[in-house]
Structure 1
Amino acid sequence: MGGAVRFGILGPVGAWGTLGRIELGGPRSQAVLAALLVNANRVVGLGSLVDAIWGEEPPPTAVDTMRTYVSRLRRAFAAAERGDRLVSEAGGYRIRVDPGELDLDVFDDHVALGREAVAAGRLAEAVVEFDSAMKLWRGSPFAGVPGPFARTNADALAETRLAVQEERLAVELELGNHADVIAELQRLRTSHPLRESLCEQLMVALDRSGRQAAALDVFRQTRELLVAELGVEPGTRLRQAHRRVLEQADPVPRLQDEATGDEVGAWSPRTAGLRGLPPAVADFTGRQAETSLITELCTPSADRTSPVVVAVDGMAGVGKTAFAVHVAHSLADRYPDAQVYIDLYGHTPGLQPRDAHDALHVLLRAVGVPAEAIPENTETRAMLWRDALAERRALVVLDNVGDGVRVESLLPAGPGCAVMITGRHRLLDLDGAHQLTLDPLSPADAGRLLTRIAAARGAESDRAAIAETVRLCGELPLAIRIAGARLSRSLPVTALRRRLSDQRDVVPRLRSGSRSVAAAFALSYGRLPPDSKRAFHLLGLHLGPDVDRFEAAALLGTSPDDAERHVESLVDASLIQQVNAERYQFHDLLRAYARDQGLASESQPDRKGAQSRVLEYYVNTMTAAYRRFFPGDRDGIRLATPKGLVRDFSGYEEFVDWSHVDQTSLSLASSTDTATHHGRVSLEDWVQLLRPGRPPTGQSGTVQPGQTRILHALGTLQYWTGRCEDAKRTLRHAMTQCRETGEHRRESAILHTLGEVLVAAGTPEDAVGVFRRCVESSRALGDTWGEAVALNSLGGAHRVLAEHEAALGCCTDALRLHRELRSSWGEGVTLTNLGRLYRCMGRPEEALAAFDEAVVSLRESGDQLELAAALVDLGYARRADDDPEQARNAWEEALPVLGILADPMADVVRGHLRELSPMSEPDRGQVRDRSGQQARPVFLPK
């Protein structure tokens, strides 16, 4: 049904009334109309309209200019019809569009009817509906309309149009009209040469028309283009189409006797060599050391009695295939008789891995054995394969080997041969093979790769943007190529970097067509047994940079030996890396993927239990070590004998080495019955706590060097595990020892930690005095940083006691000092504290401004835990300011970190995201309880 006015965006933007075309004004007026029409019958905010036209750099007069454009449109519609077509509502504008008035809506209706007809088997009717939909297009959508909104939506609509064209062509093929659609498919493929679905349809049409050679040529051209442009192989569906054509065309060349021209089923010395390698990636970058190693291994030697076998493993996306093919091409001259390649589909989506029996059939056909001459028995096939290459200098690439494949059956035996095997699993049982693990590229090589991709795509770049982009991609070649595929003249590397850094999780963003980093990881993850999946989840949720077998045992709730077996199985699957004999770590992107899986699969109690067990392990180990190495301390003797997992040490130096290794692992959240505290110790802080050295054998009762540092660490760990009474006793004893030894900086640091414990224990009035002493001590020592941190904490304690003016003075002074020190972290945590204080004082506008500034500073500092806490508060402030959408954005950004910490606030935030209702008094109280904790690293002197 049609209305009084018709609107068009499937081409140049326009409107038509009963008297003809309505004059809309210039291009920017059309851009405003386009943004409104795409959101027809919904309110579009004034700020969104400004962004739609000018993007990130609007002119100072943008808002006033925007209102002028809207007024022009309103007058134009008023002259063509009665009634209000364009109305102002809730800080924005809404355009009324009735059914049948907008060409995009009519297009969608025809498409929906076409799909219903397909589902019902009425194919001819479906073609009519799809044709009616396509006739509505009048050229490129939003043609001539300026602004980022128009560009983005034009691309989206063009993609929609192409998808519907493909649907119609699929129906035509079902109807048997394959010859009729070849010309159209060829035109579309010329415009979209990298679109695999179009190439697949064209191959089907050609094949059904009896043109198998042309169909195979389409596949060859497409594959070469995909490899050259994107560095990727064709997807599953296109490969399957290729295989179907091959089954009919049988294009595998049979070897011929040069004298008689007869086919032979076995290798002949008179036969020209087979060149079966895929094309090398044009912009292959890096791997010089690995290439040199394999080149050296393949150096001809008269003493060699067996083939050279190199097994290359590595995580998904690290570039194993590209590397193997690159090296194989560089070695081709050394193996002139044959270069053979086979993809074993070990980790190929949608395809079953090839077993040795099937692979041997492909290999034997490749070297000219007729199909009818290939034995049925696998062992006999392997013997024929070895015989075929026995006297040859041949290079064989066994790519993408899955776990469980007997690659021994695929190996030639001749000493003149070389084999390169690639796979995600380490082939530890392959005797005599040289093992090579590919790591992600170095930052320099990763930068060079993205620079080459950007140059090939005509995209502008700069060094800083390149470096940050490859860092966000984890220096992983697959991630870099997927990200680089988005580059163009209109999307430089600086914009790409912004897109990746703006994502709350970069892994889902790294997707291009059928290729994605998440999908590549999922293939390895999906084949893990349940207990290994659980290990993957919990290790990913650990916030430390790496783990050893004891930390893994604590996380998994098992023995160190069992934990080591679980971790080693993940190493074998290339899902975690072994950094030295004792420690393991995730690649950044794999850690993010593991955390996503852990958050989805492990319950909050299980996640919290794992983190609590790690902290208990640290406390137990520190307690046992203190009792052992400082037996003369009477207070230490009263420490309870630790129960549970404890690591033993051969001596004091090993204990100190352990403390230095594990310092950054102490980054978990601990819960008490009343509140949650995020405690962390930075590398520099932990080095201050424990310095290498031997405890002297002094008289009983004598304070020994290093003893106060260890007590401070132990008290901090007790605090994190909710043992506030133990922590107070340990820290007070440590301060007594500091006074005896004259360690005033250490005493000041312990004072601050004790103040935090007192706040957590529900006695902020006692904490005020302790923090005040810490401020005075830091000031006397000339420690400006310590003074600023202590002032902020003192302000927090005053705020909990509702002593608002005193709190304001402390926090204001702390902010001034942090700004003088140019500490973005200090600014951020202090501004968060100020925001909470302003909220308590009934000053919401100042609270909102403080939280906004805090988030900016904490993003700059890189402290994700403090940032999450500030974002939660910002969400409340935004919602109180009647801005639910911005509140949602803040809470959604905070939620992943809260989930990783198994923080109870995560459930609260999820509830608010579901409801987004006006804040209730209980909500406010819950936030105040949480904000009483000082979520920041333990303060220590610099």
Structure 2
Amino acid sequence: ANAVVVSAIEGMAGVGKTQLAIHAAHELVRAGHFADMQLHVNLRGFDPEFPPADPSAVLEAFLRQLGVPAQQIPGSGDERAAMFRDRMRDRSALVLLDNAADEDQVRDLIPSGPACLVLITSRRSLAGLDGASPHMIGAFSEAESLSLLMRIAGRERVTAEPEAAARIVEYCDRLPLALALTAARLRSRPAWSLPELADRVQAGRLEAIRAGGRAIRPVFDSSYQALPDVAQQLFRLLGLHPGPEFSAGAVAALSGSTVGEATEALELLLDEHLLQQRRSGRFELHDLLRAYALDLVGQDDEAVKEAALARITSWYTHSVYEALTALQKVADPPTVPCVSDPAPLDSHDAALAWLADEETNLEHLMSTAAASGFHDAAWQTGRSLYRLHSESGRDADAVRVSQMAAESARKAGNRPAEGRALCNLGWTYAELGRRRPGAYLDMAEACMRRAVDLCGGAGDEHDKAYVLNGLGKVLGEQSKYAEALDSYGAALTIYQKEGDRGRIGATHCNIGTIHFKRKDYDLALAHLLPSLKILDTPEADSFRIVIVVGNIAEAYFLSGEYDKAHSYESRRLALARTYGYTLQEAESLLNTGDIHYALGNITEARKAWTESATLYEQLDNPRAAEARHRADAPDSNTASARIHRLDACG
């Protein structure tokens, strides 16, 4: 065969598509097939609470599993699909795409290697998917249904009451999931007769048929009611979790239990097939079971739900702060009460891994917190997410979370917090304005002016200085240099009164950027070098150090001191890679290429420019064309051909 084999397993909810696909996958791997790689994802095509999984995000996860470093993963879906096909071309791999919404969702997730097998499950026909072999899965036959009932509830018990067993099969409509769950309850109730259970199932049959997606609700009820009280409570609360998957730590916070107790309860739910686990330490509810849990918890006392939401929002808000701290990002600690101990993130690697797992949940958390009235948790989580998005060059994400944070802060009646969120929004608009001239700088200035009003009116000098610093950034981008220096100077005065060394150093850096724009490189260095001296401490904010070191390298470059420029740029590049600052890495590589070119190292220059272009392309950054041009035509470059600029510190 010269093409990948694609099998589409189709049928109604609860018919056993996922179980069949997983069973087939396990048997194939156990037999020695597809040993190179196995990839599995729940595409959430029919989740009542969350949108279908974004194919681009799925491709990112697949590429990570294939060993592609995060900074090398392209930004666009088409490029990710191309890289995925390339990485899978010579592999013997099995790909399971579970719960697909439609053909479009899975088209880019199919590898091109002829040694690959793709199994797709969906409730919807995938007839429009080229090359796919459809396999329609219907309900069990009566014999198959009785066999499943016997295997779970016990052969002797079922054969002793054949008429009642036939009734159970009929009332469950021979649906495998309904039969399995009903049989599990029968097994847990040794005193029950089969006729008694058949009567119970019969009572809910019409309701189940009429409920569409809830067609198997009576079976879910039977399974749920067979759980111990603690597991029942936890299962209900899982309906309140804001994201599509969760850890034992998050569930412990949600339920107010210890991590050990939460883990034990989760294992029980796994045994009863009320949870799924696709990778170690992460759990998820099936689409229908999530809806079921949400309906159950909706019947609980409001105080119980409010307490659970307070615990989980607090846990995420404090945990993301701990992650920032572990990554040497200086941040204001949350003011929301720390109801449950945050995730233990005491190392750089642990923080990066936690953020990779929880980033989607954190955005869902913001929405859930805001909708539930926990506005302080929403804007404080948004403040943390803004830093992560902004520092990695993900401007669209930074805009979105800043807008959400500003709205939550407004509803909380916290004017300084609203001002700071608007300042963050304005900062991002200013960054967009540098790369895509247009209305962005006007939008940035409007945000900053409003932020100054909010923070100045509230009388909070610290927050006022924060937004004055942001206003200086915007004014500098608008070439209003005198006004920018005034704004930075006002911020510096406040920080000096407070003794905030980190922000004093950052503001000196920003003042240096204005002198740089005026082409006074000596005066720029007169602020940048002291800035680094102030900031360069073991507890320093890693991103500020990256910015200042890069700025010094640029100033030395345009002063013609190429060896000094190379020394500082090398440090910037190493830091950017260590802390995952992809945009800064791209900027640094572009500058490194210029330095090598100025020193006569043409081969090294082309290599750096090429790497820079690749990273810019992944970020969908317009500077990709500039970097690519320099790599393709190095002889056309001169020391002043590029637009040189410095970055301000937030």
Structure ranking higher on relative contact order (CA contacts 8 Å, 6+ apart): 2
| Larger gyration radius, structure 1 or structure 2 | 1
- Which structure is higher in helix share? 2
TM-score when normalising by structure 1: 0.32
